[in-house]
């Protein structure tokens, strides 16, 4: 399995996202320019220019026509995927952290960071079909809990919003009323900041990764803990294979601690776990810094990882990957 190295960012990667067809890969980094690549050969298609700060997160609509990005410049922007034209900018009073389109792409959830005296918040915006009719009003604003909300995604049928972040608690909110429906409890929940949250391809369960060196699999409706995957370093990114029962964890020390801890280069690996048996299957090495982003192609035949080193590595699996037996 030879990785394709995609060099286009000058700063650490923050997020990776495939479109639904799996032919495009969108990458966000701290260098202000979200980038789109061909997912088969890693060729760069173009960049989306207009942000004035690190870009933390992105999502692409089901028809691959619209891209939404959330940035530290206190905006979330809508883009035309094809032309790279900026269609709209949602302005906030603090950095925009997580963005997620609803099923049907008529709504988007955007989270904003705590800033000065402002608490973190979750905003629901209506996305107009015609960009000229787009407005900046929020349909709903949830004043968040303490600390940053690192991820917010839509639950089944857009009835709920699932959020997770610095206080290590996963919360499920009613997306109509804004009422808090469920919280993960202290015993089964994470002990430290939740860094990432990814839904399964059918949306029935989701996985969270945390600095407490574990990843956990949850039922999205009942918030029941299903599985726990334990590793030896903080987890910055998690993803699940849509094809096989595999879970991938990426991480490494905090960027500030890297130079003092490990002398072997390319040591930062994406670890594969058996989803059911919770055992490690193998790993893919190669990054020269912690892995900050992971994404599986919707067909399950390739995955990509983005690191603190500014590279995106695209891996197409060998045939024997599909026959791994434990």
Q: Which token pair is 107?
A: 């709504």
Q: Are strands 180-183 and 171-174 parallel, antiparallel or unpaired?
A: antiparallel
Instruction: Using a pLDDT cut of 70, give the percent of the chain over it.
Output: 95
In whole angstroms, give the CA distance from residue 90 to residue 88.
7
Give the least confident one: 13-27, 118-132, 253-267. Answer: 253-267
Give the angle 272-275-276 at the CA atoms, nearest 5°. 140
Kindly report the pTM of this predicted structure: 0.94
What whole-number distance in Å separates Cα of residue 308 and Cα of residue 291?
6
Q: Which CATH number fits domain 3-230: 3.40.50.150, 3.40.50.620, 3.30.70.100, 2.130.10.10?
A: 2.130.10.10
More confident residue, 262 or 296: 296
How far is CA 138 from each of CA 92, 108, 125, 164, 236, rounded to the nearest angstrom?
A: 11, 10, 5, 20, 30
Give residue limits of the domains in the chain: 3-230
pLDDT at residue 257 above 70?
no
Does the pLDDT at position 325 exceed 90? no
Coil, strand or helix at 273 = strand
- What span, in angstroms and rounded, lies between the C-alpha atoms of 113 and 150? 8
Residue-wise DSSP of 131-190: GGG----EEEEEE--SS-EEEEEE-GGGSEEEEEETT---EEEETTT--EEEE--TTTS-
**Per-state percent for the chain, helix, strand, coil, to nearest 5:** 5, 50, 45
Residue pointed to by tokens 């290590």: 168
Amino acid 261: pLDDT: 55
Four-residue CA torsion sign, 13, 28, 58, 118? positive
Tokens of 124: 């629901």
- Three-class secondary structure of residue 257 per DSSP: helix
Q: Which residues pair with 173 in a beta bridge?
A: 161, 180
At residue 263, the pLDDT reads 53
The residues that bridge with 18 in the sheet, in sequence order, are 25
Q: Are 212 and 192 a contacting pair, CB within 8 Å? A: yes
Q: Is the pLDDT of residue 299 over 60?
A: yes
The residue length of the chain stands at 326
CA distance 125 to 246: 34
pLDDT at 255 over 60: no
- Given a cut of 60, whether residue 264 has pLDDT beyond it is no
At residue 169, does pLDDT exceed 90? yes
H or E segment and range at residue 224: none
Residue 76's pLDDT is what?
97
d(CA 303, CA 326): 21
Cβ-based neighbour number of residue 52 at 10 Å: 10
């Amino acid at each position: 399995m030879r990785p394709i190295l995609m060099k286009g960012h000058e700063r650490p990667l923050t997020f990776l996202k495939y479109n639904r067809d799996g032919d495009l890969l969108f990458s966000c980094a701290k260098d202000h320019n979200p980038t789109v690549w061909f997912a088969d050969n890693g060729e760069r298609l173009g960049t989306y220019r207009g942000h004035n700060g690190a870009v933390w997160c992105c999502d692409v609509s089901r028809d691959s026509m619209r891209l939404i990005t959330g940035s530290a410049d206190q905006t979330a922007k809508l883009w035309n995927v094809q032309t790279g034209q900026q269609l709209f900018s949602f302005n906030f009073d603090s950095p925009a952290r997580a963005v997620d389109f609803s099923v049907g792409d008529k709504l988007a959830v955007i989270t904003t960071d705590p800033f000065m005296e402002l608490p973190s918040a979750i905003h629901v915006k209506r996305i107009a079909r015609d960009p000229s009719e787009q407005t900046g009003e929020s349909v709903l604003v949830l004043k968040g809990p303490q600390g940053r909300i690192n991820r917010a995604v839509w639950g089944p049928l857009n009835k709920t919003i699932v959020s997770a972040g610095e206080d290590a608690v996963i919360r499920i909110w009613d997306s109509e009323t804004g009422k808090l429906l469920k919280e993960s409890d202290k015993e089964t929940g994470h002990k430290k900041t939740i860094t990432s949250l990814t839904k399964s391809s059918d949306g029935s369960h989701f996985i969270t990764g945390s600095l407490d060196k574990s990843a956990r699999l949850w039922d999205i409706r009942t918030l029941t803990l299903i599985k726990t995957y334990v590793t030896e370093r903080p987890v910055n990114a998690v993803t699940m294979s849509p094809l096989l029962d595999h879970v991938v964890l990426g991480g490494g020390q905090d960027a500030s601690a890297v130079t003092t801890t490990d002398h072997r280069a390319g040591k930062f690996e994406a670890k594969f776990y058996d989803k059911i048996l919770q055992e490690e299957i193998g790993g893919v090495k190669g990054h020269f810094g912690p892995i900050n982003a992971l994404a599986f192609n919707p067909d399950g035949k390739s995955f990509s990882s983005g690191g603190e080193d500014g590279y995106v590595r695209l891996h197409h699996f060998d045939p024997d990957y599909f026959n791994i037996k434990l």
